[in-house]
Structure 1
Amino acid sequence: MTADHYALVGDIGGTNARFALVEQGSSRLEAVEALPCRDYGNFEDAVVDYLRRAGVAAVSEACFAVASPVSGTRVRMTNNHWCFDTDEIRSRFGWQSFKVVNDYTAMALGVPHVGSDRLVHVCGGPGDARGPRLVMGPGTGLGVSALVPISHGWVPLMTEGGHVDFAPTDDTEMAVLRILKARFGRVSVERILSGQGLLNLYRAHAEIQGVAAPLDAPDKVTAAALGQADALARHTLRHFCEILGRVAGNAVLTLGSTGGVYLCGGILPRFLDFFLESPFRVGFEDKGRMRPLVERTPVYVVTEPHTGLLGAAEALGNPEV
């Protein structure tokens, strides 16, 4: 590949760094690859290795989505060990243009580029096609963003909505809060609605019920729940989905995102059938006098695995980012 016609885009999470090349002015992804963050001492080494793998010596511009707040030139990842300075990176690689955006800002920008065959309807509808759209999802953390409509497109919102306080609604959740508060101090919804959060919730329910919690990884909890033989795991995963529904519904009310809710990330597609039968909808619609508003709001699970990369490609030429 010749460098002159390509830009580099990336989606850097807590676990994996996904990279792709796009022709300038296009959002079609080429040479997509995911590299484990743990395999590289720093961000620069991962970029160099990806370009070598792709057979490209250099590119003229780049845009990366990162799982961290973006302010100034210094970027420190929230859920992995990488940190870098954007000016230093641009200088080292000789890029004419270099953008860094929050990972869920990119996820939001990518949603309009996702085909209908990659959207699974959960509940609600028809909503308002020109209303704001909420984009959120559990992964290594809990990402939250939104798209606000303007005359000729969308403006993404960069938020840290995953770090709002967990708000219990019954005695069991008060007990969950007490247990997690003893461990973490302040308890954000991300302490529950994430990969590690699922494990936190599983252990909390075990303590509440006075039973053992032998599973030591979120994927094991999910597998046990899907196998239907482990009542504790199944109860935990159902509760996880219900809490996600309530948090999503709260965000719809806060942002007025009647254009729809788009649930992204790698966790939900792994247990999609379970999720569709879970109490997510119950939690989402349980909004008292505002119930009719959320009932009209469509909710989708986004199964496109490269939504963040599509958003990074969109951000390259989006003057609002």
Structure 2
Amino acid sequence: MPAQTDDTTILRFPVLIGDIGGTNARFAILVDAYAEPKEFPIVQTADFATIDEAIQTAILDKTSVMPLSTVLAVAGPVDGDEIELTNCNWVVKPRQMFETLGLEEVVVLNDFEAQALAVVALGPEHLEKIGGGEPEPTAGRVVLGPGTGLGVAGLVHSRHTWIPVPGEGGHVDIGPRTERDLAVFPHIERIEGRVSAEQMLCGRGLVNLYRAVAAADGRPTSFTTPAEITSAALAQSDAMAQEALDIFVTCLGRLAGDLALVFMSRGGVFLTGGIAQKIIPALKNGLFREAFEDKAPHGELMQQMPVYVITHPLAALTGLAAYARTPALFGVETDGRRWVKG
């Protein structure tokens, strides 16, 4: 069983921090609590059979600094001694890392828990506002991000501590609202009979939407990748790509508004990840904000809630670094998610 403790985790430096997504893995090393993170080139998860191999080859073989601890944020639920990622074949085995990587302590968090930590670690220069009023400093917050999958986490403040609330909110049901939705949604690829938010609001989800728009109109498709669809939509060179992206931002607005109500996010809703950063013009065209605020009888409340796009390219690492330096400032539950050698 993982080590459990009632005390605040105090990590031994140097600390390796890692943000492990379905497609990319990003790593840095903190030499001490005051140093800036030493960042390494982004790792493609498909290039390595295991996470241990990736860390050894891409990180440890490239530095003389040998970490004693690691804090990893992974795209998937953390449960047990072998942690499977949702959209990647890697399996995190903390006890094995003691032997293969020479670590003495391993903490594993959800990847969007790290994104939630980043929300209070980033400055305004890394935020692009998408409407709404001013945030309340200690009010609830929500972070969500379409990427390889769809990550969601909450952030609440209690007793002078920021507490991230991890979950699998990207897998909630999502349904049609308009007549056009009713024509398009039946063509969206399902998983065991259901359309979850992640089936629409991620990279492959945008492709699903584009194909569904084409199928609804009986037209052939021209694009096969999210990047092609996004580029054509933003350039206004393809009507089907434009509609697919419009549906994407509208449904993202609906879901973001739902989550904002759940967490009463007067502190803001934060969109993160590469897709959100690339489609900022589409997020500002009015469809996202209209869908976000369309929550009768709470429309007036929603109008005041600010939404931001996080523009920092390594936001999760920023959040993990803040936690590694001063764990006591964050209410991160480590029971069942912390392993100590010995």
User: Quick check: TM above 0.5?
Assistant: yes
> Which has more helix, going by share of residues?
1
Tell me, in whole angstroms, the C-alpha distance in 2 between the residues paired with 1:127 and 1:116.
12
Offset from partner CA, 1:136-191 (integer Å, 9 cap, x none): 11111111001110222300001110000012212322333322266752110010
Query: 2:307: which partner in 1?
Result: 299
Query: 2:282: which partner in 1?
Result: 274
Tell me, in whole angstroms, the C-alpha distance in 2 between the residues paired with 1:16 and 1:297.
31
Asked if the contact 1:58/1:93 (under 8 Å) is kept, the reply is no
Secondary structure of residue in 1 paired with 2:120: helix
| 1:125-164 alignment, distance < 5 Å | 125-164=133-172
Asked if the contact 1:193/1:244 (under 8 Å) is kept, the reply is yes
Deviation at 1:273, TM superposition (A): 2.1
Percent identity over the alignment is 37
Query: 1:88: which partner in 2?
Result: 96
Deviation at 1:307, TM superposition (A): 0.8
| 1:22-171 alignment, distance < 5 Å | 22-26=30-34, 28-52=36-60, 54-56=62-64, 58-171=66-179
Query: 1:318: which partner in 2?
Result: 327
Tell me, in whole angstroms, the C-alpha distance in 2 between the residues paired with 1:54 and 1:150.
41
Deviation at 1:58, TM superposition (A): 2.1
Tell me, in whole angstroms, the C-alpha distance in 2 between the residues paired with 1:45 and 1:94.
13
Deviation at 1:205, TM superposition (A): 0.7
RMSD value over aligned CA atoms?
A: 1.8
Query: 2:261: which partner in 1?
Result: 253
Deviation at 1:215, TM superposition (A): 0.8
Asked if the contact 1:74/1:86 (under 8 Å) is kept, the reply is yes
TM-score normalised per structure 2:
0.88
Asked if the contact 1:104/1:144 (under 8 Å) is kept, the reply is yes
* Residue identity in the other structure for 1:65: A
Secondary structure of residue in 2 paired with 1:9: strand
Tell me, in whole angstroms, the C-alpha distance in 2 between the residues paired with 1:29 and 1:241.
34
Deviation at 1:240, TM superposition (A): 0.6
Tell me, in whole angstroms, the C-alpha distance in 2 between the residues paired with 1:5 and 1:41.
28
Tell me, in whole angstroms, the C-alpha distance in 1 between the residues paired with 2:74 and 2:92.
11
The aligned length equals 318
Residue 158 and residue 189 in structure 1: after superposition, are their counterparts in 2 closer, same or farther (change >3 A)?
same
2:198 equivalent among 190, 194, 216:
190
* Residue identity in the other structure for 1:63: V
Secondary structure of residue in 2 paired with 1:309: helix
Residue 315 and residue 27 in structure 1: after superposition, are their counterparts in 2 closer, same or farther (change >3 A)?
farther
Deviation at 1:82, TM superposition (A): 0.8
Unaligned residue ranges in structure 2 (runs of 5+): 1-11, 333-342
Offset from partner CA, 1:178-216 (integer Å, 9 cap, x none): 222667521100100000000000000111111111211
Unaligned residue ranges in structure 1 (runs of 5+): none
Tell me, in whole angstroms, the C-alpha distance in 1 between the residues paired with 2:279 and 2:101.
40
